[in-house]
Amino acid sequence: MKISFGRYFQGDSLLHRMDPRMKVVLCFLFLIAIFSISTFETLAVAAVAVFVLIFVSKLPAKVVFSSIRSVFFLILFILVINIFTTRTGTPLFSRWIVLITDEGLSKAFFMASRLLLLVLSTSIFLTLTMTPLLLADSLESLFGPLKKIRVPVHEMAMMMSIALRFVPTLVEETDKIMKAQASRGAKYDTGSFADRIRGYITVLIPLFISAFKRAEELTYAMEARCYRGGDGRTKLKVLKATRLDWILFVGFIFVCSSFFFLDFFFRIR
Please check whether residue 256 lies inside any domain of the structure. Answer: yes
Assign 3-state DSSP to the chain and report helix, strand, coil percentages, each to 5. Answer: 75, 5, 25
The residue-averaged pLDDT of 113-121 equals 89
User: Are 249 and 125 members of one domain?
Assistant: yes
- Kindly report the pTM of this predicted structure: 0.75
Instruction: Specify the range with the lowest mean pLDDT, choosing from 1-10, 43-52, 154-163, 254-263.
Output: 1-10
Give me the pLDDT at residue 25, please: 92
Q: Specify whether 55 is located in the same domain as 80.
A: yes
H-run or E-run covering 74: helix 72-85
Same domain, 7 and 46: yes
- Residue-number span of the structural domain to which 35 is assigned: 1-130+239-269
- The answer to whether residues 2 and 82 belong to one domain is yes
Average pLDDT of the chain to the nearest whole number: 83
Query: Are 251 and 210 found together in one domain?
Result: no
Average pLDDT over residues 18-24: 90
For residues 177 and 110, state if they share a domain.
no
Residue 102 lies in a domain: yes
Q: Note whether 126 and 91 are same-domain residues.
A: yes
In this model, does residue 2 exceed pLDDT 50? no
Compute the distance between CA of residue 73 and CA of residue 234 in angstroms, rounded to an integer: 43
Q: What is the mean pLDDT of residues 174-197?
A: 75
Query: What pLDDT, on a 0 to 100 scale, did the predictor assign at position 93?
Result: 78
- The answer to which of 59-63, 84-88, 191-195 has the lowest mean pLDDT is 191-195
Higher pLDDT, 111 or 172: 111
| Whether residue 91 is found in the same domain as residue 169 | no
Do 107 and 200 belong to one domain? no
d(CA 124, CA 121): 5
Residue 138 lies in a domain: no
The reported pLDDT for the residue numbered 23 is: 92
Measured torsion, CA atoms of residues 104, 106, 109, 110, in degrees rounded to the nearest 10: -110
Mean pLDDT computed over 147-157: 82
Look at residue 213 and tell me whether its pLDDT is greater than 80. Answer: yes
If asked whether residues 50 and 173 sit together in one domain, one would say no
User: Same domain for 120 and 247?
Assistant: yes
Tally of residues, the chain: 269
60 and 167 together in one domain: no
Report the number of distinct structural domains present in the chain: 2
Chain centre to alpha carbon of residue 1: 17
DSSP letters spanning 198-223? HHHHHHHHHHHHHHHHHHHHHHHHHH
